[in-house]
Amino acid sequence: MATSLDIRTEPGTPVTHRRPGSPRRHRLSRLDTKFSPYLYVAPFFLLFAVFGAYPLVYTLWVSLHEWDLLAQEHPFVGLANYSALMSDGDFWNSVYNTLGIFVLSTVPQLLLALWLANLLNRQLRARTFFRMGVLIPNITSTAAVAIVFGQLFSRDFGLVNWALGLVGAGPIDWNTSKLGSWVAISTMVDWRWTGYNALIFLAAMQAIPRDLYESAAIDGARPSRQFWSITVPLLRPTIVFCVIISTIGGLQLFTEPLLFNSGTNAIRGGTLRESQTMTMYMFENAFAPNYNFGYGAAIAWMLFALIVVVAIVNVLIIRRAARSA
Amino acid sequence: MHVNSRGRRFAAVAVAVTTATLLAACGGDDGDSGSGDGPITLTVDVFGQFGYEELYKQYEASHPNVKIVERGTGSNLDEYSPKLTQWLAAGKGAGDIVAIEEGLLVEYKANPGNFVNLLDHGAAELKGNFMEWKWSQGLTADGKQLIGLGTDVGGMAMCYRKDLFEKAGLPTEREAVSKLWPTWQDYVKVGEQFKAKNTGAAFLDAATNTFNTIVLQYGGAAGGYHYYDTSDNLVVESNPAVKQAWDTTMDIIDSGLSGKYQAWSDDWVAAFKQAKFATIACPAWMTGVIEGNAGADAAGKWDIASVPGDGGNWGGSFLAVPKQSKHQAEAIELAKFLTSPQGQIGAFKAKGPLPSSPQALDDPAITGATSAYFSGAPTGQIFGAGAKSLKPVYMGPKNQAVRTEVENAVRTVELGQRSPADGWTDAVNNAKKAADK
């Protein structure tokens, strides 16, 4: 930043207004060129400082205290919250759930999106209609999606169990098994995000040169062979991008599992915490019923750490992918 | 890149102004700071149904400078209490009057600095308007600060569906039904008879609600406490009342009487509509919930019998004035009006919360009250009879978190995820953990 400003004021560069007899103006103009770039970028940094950096640092500060939300005194306890967290089985359960739901939702989601994108990439009637159509679930409010799916997966009055009953399968209590609740929640996530990813894949697919397919066709490659040998390899960077986006969303999953568990103490995510994610566990501790803000803040930082770890893994994968490509 | 300096300066100013506006917009509004002569708005934060609409109209008519807005009507206590805590912690956002439920009051009492001391505002003379224990619950441990004025108490009964009882060949008249179950053991026996008739409905909604009723009864009858003793020691494991209530509930679960609906869930609400269970433990405020959930179609199909075992108290609330209120004096006056015997009678008539004021309970408006929805049941008499003699239960500092753990353990047994013995171990251990958090 500083160097570019220096270049601008070097003698010889075009100076806009040079009016002899007006040194004040000149000085203002110099100040202007020096500081206005900072003003241009200020909105982002101010907003980031207020809504990003400050909460981050403040959360760290809170996590080092015994911080009852209503109390006037917040004694400093150092890393006690973190060491308690390390031996807290419920916390690790929530990490396990978060990663489990993440895998269970992301893998089918991306495969499905790839297949959808491939379909949409063909010569279809009303192509734009279908392409826009897959995005509709994404613009539906998460709460509405979660409530509707919660009803579909209801034990006694749900459509899914009714349909299972038609084919003779017994009703499943989706809320009370880990797998059941994970499947139900993953379904919600997939319904919402598959179309979005499909559109991104579609955009990348259209950038693949057609002559690759033509020459493959001349060599006798069938469409499925073309898909796996041309489309997928060339989509690799896009796939990695979608994985990263899904990771960020997946690790912060909150609304879907919360609304899936309706009733008393839904934040617990089931009687045995079958589908309690990290963000839910954070909320349970920081707010009702425990109001232990310090412990909640420590969980928030552990979540941050987990996202960093997963992000690093992602970066390593990208590097390897780039090298082998 | 040739931009003249005036244009650039203008742009810089524009950016700065925009930023400042954005930041200011994020600061939020300060509400109406209109004090002095102009009309003021008092905000009342409630959950569920307090039945105050008519009372507000009366009050506004006699106080032309006051406008009253109620927030949170019909909301779940689980949603309401975290919000209230956040408002108090932030020092901003709470109403001028806030409703606080009995089980949560202890936590707010631990930090009394958030609330106006009503004793400083002439509340002491109102003591005679409340049952003694209800008054004392509103006081801090040292007795020097009054946090809240009592609204209602949760005298208990057992609500049942007459149509399902008839189908199962059981009596349907409320006196006869009450005679069926003097104790919880009798209640289980009736349940087994009911179940044998295969009506397609369960005998009760959820073991958790029934457990809470039983533990409050046993605790009240034994030492006046359940999860915490009166010195605030956690006694889930050692209090025989809790274990007895647990065992009684296990009998209910063993006999397969529960519909296993998670209380307050969408399924639970749907089960009311579809008549999927025949009885539900029924504190006075529950009648309003049943009416709301079962809907107008079920009018006249429900009735109210006496609860098995001794009477007891479940729930009931208080009105408090947060210190952050800008209109404390006016808010206190309104809170006094709403919790006065007349105010409590008005609320009872509207939505059924049972008064905590002995004068109100003796009023013909209460003793003569019947509910058309509940087949003309004399609700005032049924709930009022036991109310004045009921034995309250002491609530310790982490009451809500501990209760959640114990009820959750009941639920794991009900769903077959745990054996009764393992469930009890969970209840004890998790309660300890929750109390330490």
Contacts of residue A176 in chain B, CB cutoff 8 Å?
415, 417
Spans in chain A with pLDDT lower than 70: 1-21, 318, 321-325
- Selected residues 32-51 of chain A with any CB under 8 Å from a CB in chain B: 32-33, 35-36, 39-40, 42-43, 46-47, 50
In a domain, A94, yes or no: yes
Region class of B322: left (phi > 0), else alpha (psi between -120 and 50), else beta: beta
- Summarize pLDDT for B66-125 with one digit per residue, the tens: 999 999 887 878 889 889 999 998 899 999 999 999 988 988 988 899 999 999 999 999
| CA distance readout (Å), A85 to A57, A91, A296 | 19, 7, 10
B262 with A264: Cβ contact below 8 A: yes
The per-residue pLDDT for B21 is 46
Chain B contact for A29 (CB, 8 A cutoff) = yes
In a domain, A82, yes or no: no
Please count the residues of chain B. Answer: 437
- Selected residues 381-410 of chain B with any CB under 8 Å from a CB in chain A: 400-401, 404, 407-408
**Long-range own/partner contacts, residues A309-313 (CB < 8 A, 24 or more apart):** A310/A247, A310/A251, A311/A244, A311/A247
Q: What is the CATH number of domain B40-153+316-367?
A: 3.40.190.10
SS3 for chain A is CHHHHHHHHCCCCCCCCCCCCCHHHHHHHHHHHHHHHHHHHHHHHHHHHHHHHHHHHHHHHHHCECCECCCCCCCECCCHHHHHHHCCHHHHHHHHHHHHHHHHHHHHHHHHHHHHHHHHCCCCCCHHHHHHHCCHHHHCCHHHHHHHHHHHCCCCCCHHHHHHHHCCCCCCCHHHCHHHHHHHHHHHHHHHHHHHHHHHHHHHHHCCCHHHHHHHHHCCCCHHHHHHHHHHHHCHHHHHHHHHHHHHHHHCCCHHHHHHCCCCCHHHCCCCCCCCCHHHHHHHHHCCCCCEHHHHHHHHHHHHHHHHHHHHHHHHHHHHHHHHC
The per-residue pLDDT for B25 is 43
Contact criterion met (CB below 8 Å) for A123 and A131 = no
Q: Which residue has the higher pLDDT, B145 or B18?
A: B145
Strand partners, B318: B100, B150
The per-residue pLDDT for A324 is 65
Mean pLDDT of B397-407: 91
The per-residue pLDDT for A20 is 53
Question: What gap in Å lies between CA B188 and CA B216, rounded to an integer?
Answer: 18
Residue from A281, A278, A286, A268 nearest A68 by CA: A286
Contact criterion met (CB below 8 Å) for B216 and B314 = yes
**Which of A40, A150, A288 lies nearest to residue B82, judging by beta carbons?**
A288
The per-residue pLDDT for B31 is 42
The per-residue pLDDT for B325 is 95
The per-residue pLDDT for B68 is 96
In a domain, A83, yes or no: no
Mean pLDDT of B387-407: 87
SS3 for B160-220 is EEHHHHHHCCCCCCHHHHHHHCCCHHHHHHHHHHHHHCCCCCEEECCHHHHHHHHHHHHHH
* A289 cis-preceded (ω within 30 degrees of 0): yes
Chain A contact for B136 (CB, 8 A cutoff) = no
Residues 6+ apart with CB under 8 A from B229: B223, B235, B239, B394, B396
Residue environment code for A98-123, b if the CB has 16+ CB neighbours within 10 A, otherwise e: bbbbbebbbeebbebbbebbbebbee
Question: What gap in Å lies between CA A202 and CA A196, rounded to an integer?
Answer: 10
CA-based nearest distance B44→chain A, Å: 20
Does the pLDDT at position B334 exceed 80? yes
The per-residue pLDDT for A125 is 84
Residues 6+ apart with CB under 8 A from A40: B11, B12, B15
In a domain, A84, yes or no: no
B107 with A69: Cβ contact below 8 A: no
- Summarize pLDDT for B180-206 with one digit per residue, the tens: 999 999 999 999 999 999 999 999 999
Q: Which residue has the higher pLDDT, B174 or A69?
A: B174
Q: Where in chain B is the domain with CATH 3.40.190.10?
A: 40-153+316-367, 156-315+389-436
Question: What gap in Å lies between CA B105 and CA B113, rounded to an integer?
Answer: 14
The per-residue pLDDT for A32 is 86
CATH architecture of B156-315+389-436: 3-Layer(aba) Sandwich (3.40)
Does the pLDDT at position B236 exceed 60? yes
Mean pLDDT of B281-302: 91
* The residue to which tokens 């039983």 are assigned: B214
Q: Which domain holds residue A187?
A: 89-324
Contacts of residue B86 in chain A, CB cutoff 8 Å?
69, 287
| CA distance readout (Å), A84 to A60, A68, B100, B407 | 16, 16, 31, 25
Chain B contact for A111 (CB, 8 A cutoff) = no
- Mean pLDDT: which of B11-15, B131-135, B424-428 is highest? B424-428
Q: Is B70 helix (H, G, I), strand (E, B) or coil?
A: strand
The per-residue pLDDT for A325 is 54
- Summarize pLDDT for B6-52 with one digit per residue, the tens: 444 444 445 444 444 444 444 444 444 444 557 899 999 999 889 89
CA-based nearest distance B59→chain A, Å: 32
- Selected residues 172-211 of chain B with any CB under 8 Å from a CB in chain A: 208
Please give the span between the terminal C-alpha atoms of chain B, in angstroms, as a whole number. 61
ipTM: 0.78
Residue from B149, B113, B178 nearest B377 by CA: B178
Backbone angles phi, psi at B234, to 5 degrees: -70, 120
Q: Is B396 helix (H, G, I), strand (E, B) or coil?
A: coil
Chain A contact for B274 (CB, 8 A cutoff) = yes
The per-residue pLDDT for B37 is 58
- Summarize pLDDT for B58-78 with one digit per residue, the tens: 999 999 999 999 998 878 788
Please count the residues of chain A. Answer: 325
* The residue to which tokens 């077959």 are assigned: B416
> How many domains is chain A built from?
1
What average pLDDT does the structure give for chain B? 88
Question: Dihedral through CA A19, CA A20, CA A23, CA A29, nearest 10?
Answer: 20
Question: What gap in Å lies between CA B242 and CA B220, rounded to an integer?
Answer: 11
The two beta strands, B97-101 and B40-45, are parallel
Structure tokens at B307: 């609860």
In a domain, A45, yes or no: no
Please give the span between the terminal C-alpha atoms of chain A, in angstroms, as a whole number. 36
Q: Is B15 helix (H, G, I), strand (E, B) or coil?
A: helix
The continuous run of DSSP H or E covering B42 comes out as strand B40-45
Tell me the CATH number at A256: 1.10.3720.10
Mean pLDDT of B400-424: 94
Question: What gap in Å lies between CA B224 and CA B74, rounded to an integer?
Answer: 31
Q: Is B14 helix (H, G, I), strand (E, B) or coil?
A: helix
* The residue to which tokens 């009803």 are assigned: A151
Question: What gap in Å lies between CA B382 and CA B283, rounded to an integer?
Answer: 11
In a domain, A305, yes or no: yes
In a domain, A154, yes or no: yes
